[in-house]
């Protein structure tokens, strides 16, 4: 397999782009080598500039849940393009997409569209502060909620991959109201409430996907919601990854928990730059122009993104692929475990519906500390062998793999074959 053109583009890209990438998670810093440059994608497959085609388990970090260029989404986008790209004024489709979202999440009466998950979360946090009149926010170590100052501490995703405890350039004042708790550990949340009386809310990924996949154990979410509300604070649920992926109504539907504020991201734009935050009326009425919490955006509710989002979610509802997702992801899970056993490689596999990944550790992974016991050198060898065998994975131990509804049985066979070879390569290290 050749990566010559990707290598050439990488060298060229270094001149005017930082690290030749526009998001650090795309760098291959933790797996070695150069990032692959992508030419195109269709259905379950993605093709790089050297003409290598892979089964895509990155899927733009989740949103391509129908696979790439689904024909209904493509035609909705083409149709929308004919009417214009951005108006700085309201359109009918914003109302339509808002209804689809509010119908799916019972805790949302109203929604505000923004342009990314980062924006959704920073607005959701501002809203929690506005509603409660309090300042402090609790986040869980290993969870990642975008690159806003206040939450760039003990964060997963690219920070975990690059082993960064936080970000330079974030003033102390910006994180002085951020408290860190341990995922799956309600006591660590309680400790904060016992020592602070000004906590506005707790933000959580209901299933973490940014420290690898980590699922909530033993009613953790339900108990968290009850406790947080009993203290007069709000539960902010970041469903940027899980929304419409594990169930149409997200992780909240699956775990029967209703967030006070829900944050959504890329999936509601079918891969276009979109985010949204929403809540019940009494909370959303704080937002300008109804209330005094200001948040705005020229491109918010962009007509192309709205068209892509409506067609993606409508098709997703029709396909209802969640059972198929479970079955296929389970095949991958079992295969990972069996081939690891066969080659004597210690792994733990965590899975939530169509989100899955192996950790190269012998520990159960229930929080960030557990995830960090993973042997990232083994992951790097595994990653490259998967690439060479035609499977595109996130270049990090701490990112989730995703399935799309376009995946075929043939793709799954390719994945399992690649796993077998990759596990063998890890065993030979």
- Comparison of 114 and 233: residue with beta carbon closer to ligand HOZ: 114
94-113: which residues touch ligand HOZ (CB under 6 A)?
none
Neighbours of 8 (CB within 10 A): 14
Contacting residue, 9, 20, 25, 332, with ligand HOZ by CB under 6 A:
25
- Binding flag, residue 210, ligand HOZ (CB under 6 A): yes
- Comparison of 21 and 49: residue with beta carbon closer to ligand HOZ: 21
| Residue 9 per-residue DSSP state | H
Q: How far apart are CA 276 and CA 393, in angstroms?
A: 27
Per-residue tokens: 58: 């990155």
- Binding flag, residue 157, ligand HOZ (CB under 6 A): yes
The least CB distance from residue 401 to ligand HOZ, in Å, is 11
- Binding flag, residue 189, ligand HOZ (CB under 6 A): no
Q: How far apart are CA 33 and CA 48, in angstroms?
A: 15
* Residues paired with residue 391 on neighbouring β-strands, in sequence order: 55
Residue 390-409 contact track with ligand HOZ, rule CB under 6 A, x = bound: ---------x----------
**Residue 250 CA to chain centroid, in angstroms?**
12
Residue 238 known to be catalytic: yes
DSSP string, 347-402: -EEEEETTEEEEESSSS---SHHHHTTS-HHHHHHHHHHHHHTTEE--SSTTS-EE
Where do we find the tokens 């968290």?
A: 224
Residue 39 known to be catalytic: no
Q: Where are the beta strands (DSSP E) in 207-252?
A: 234-238
Per-residue tokens: 147: 């690159």
Q: Which of 45, 134, 225, 266 is catalytic?
A: 266
Contacting residue, 144, 277, 368, 382, with ligand HOZ by CB under 6 A:
144
Q: How far apart are CA 123 and CA 130, in angstroms?
A: 10
Q: 302 to each of 25, 227, 299, 307, how far by Cα in Å?
A: 26, 38, 5, 9
Q: Which of 238, 260, 370, 411 is catalytic?
A: 238
The least CB distance from residue 166 to ligand HOZ, in Å, is 16
- Binding flag, residue 18, ligand HOZ (CB under 6 A): no
The least CB distance from residue 154 to ligand HOZ, in Å, is 15
Residue 34-73 contact track with ligand HOZ, rule CB under 6 A, x = bound: ---------------------------x------------
- Binding flag, residue 30, ligand HOZ (CB under 6 A): no
Q: How far apart are CA 304 and CA 74, in angstroms?
A: 11
Residues making up the chain, counted from first to last? 429
- Comparison of 210 and 389: residue with beta carbon closer to ligand HOZ: 210
Residue 421 known to be catalytic: no
- Binding flag, residue 75, ligand HOZ (CB under 6 A): no
Q: Which of 10, 54, 61, 144 is catalytic?
A: 144
The least CB distance from residue 83 to ligand HOZ, in Å, is 30
- Comparison of 158 and 301: residue with beta carbon closer to ligand HOZ: 158
Contacting residue, 1, 11, 17, 23, with ligand HOZ by CB under 6 A:
23
Return the closest-CA partner of residue 60 out of 413, 423, 402. 402
- Comparison of 399 and 411: residue with beta carbon closer to ligand HOZ: 399
Contacting residue, 35, 63, 67, 158, with ligand HOZ by CB under 6 A:
158
Backbone dihedral angles phi then psi of residue 340, each to the nearest 5 degrees:
-60, -40
Kind plus residue range of the DSSP H or E element containing 277: strand 275-279
**Catalytic positions, please?**
144, 238, 266
* Interface ranges with ligand HOZ (CB under 6 A): 23, 25, 61, 144, 157-158, 210, 399
């Amino acid at each position: 397999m050749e990566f010559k053109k990707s290598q050439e583009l990488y060298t060229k890209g270094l001149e005017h782009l930082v690290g030749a990438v526009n998001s650090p998670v795309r760098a291959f810093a933790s797996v070695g080598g150069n990032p692959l440059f992508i030419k195109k994608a269709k259905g379950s497959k993605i093709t790089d500039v050297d003409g290598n085609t892979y089964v895509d388990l990155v899927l733009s970090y989740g949103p391509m849940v129908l696979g790439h260029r689904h024909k209904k989404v493509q035609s909705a986008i083409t149709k929308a393009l004919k009417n214009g790209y951005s108006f700085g004024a309201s359109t009918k489709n914003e109302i339509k997409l808002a209804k689809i979202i509010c119908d799916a999440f019972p805790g949302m009466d109203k929604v505000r569209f923004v342009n990314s998950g980062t924006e959704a979360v920073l607005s959701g946090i501002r809203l929690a502060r506005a509603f409660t009149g309090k300042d402090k926010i609790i986040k869980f170590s290993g969870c990642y909620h975008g690159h806003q100052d206040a939450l760039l501490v003990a964060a997963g995703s690219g920070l975990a991959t690059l082993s960064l405890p936080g970000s330079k350039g974030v003033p102390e004042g910006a994180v002085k109201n951020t408290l860190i708790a341990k995922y799956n550990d309600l006591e660590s949340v309680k400790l904060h409430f016992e020592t602070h009386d000004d906590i506005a809310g707790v933000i959580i990924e209901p299933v973490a996907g940014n420290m690898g996949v980590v699922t909530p154990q033993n009613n953790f979410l339900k108990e968290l919601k009850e406790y947080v509300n009993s203290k007069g604070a709000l539960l902010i649920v970041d469903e940027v990854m899980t929304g419409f992926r594990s169930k149409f109504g997200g992780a909240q539907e699956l775990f029967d928990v209703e967030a006070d504020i829900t944050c959504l991201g890329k999936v509601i734009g079918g891969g276009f730059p979109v985010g949204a935050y929403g809540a019940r009326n009494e909370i959303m009425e704080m937002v300008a122009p109804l209330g005094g919490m200001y948040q705005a955006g020229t491109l918010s509710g962009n007509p192309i993104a709205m068209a892509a989002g409506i067609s993606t979610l409508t098709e997703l509802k029709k396909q209802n692929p969640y059972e198929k997702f479970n079955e296929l992801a389970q095949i991958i899970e079992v295969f990972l475990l069996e081939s690891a056993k066969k080659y004597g490689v210690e792994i733990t596999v965590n899975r939530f519906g169509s989100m899955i990944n192996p950790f190269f550790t012998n520990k159960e992974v229930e929080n960030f500390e557990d995830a960090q016991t993973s042997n990232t050198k083994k992951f790097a060898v595994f990653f490259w062998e998967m690439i060479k065998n035609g499977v595109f994975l996130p270049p990090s131990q701490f990112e989730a793999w995703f399935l799309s509804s376009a995946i075929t049985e043939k793709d799954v066979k390719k994945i399992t074959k690649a796993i077998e070879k990759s596990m063998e390569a890890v065993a030979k290290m």
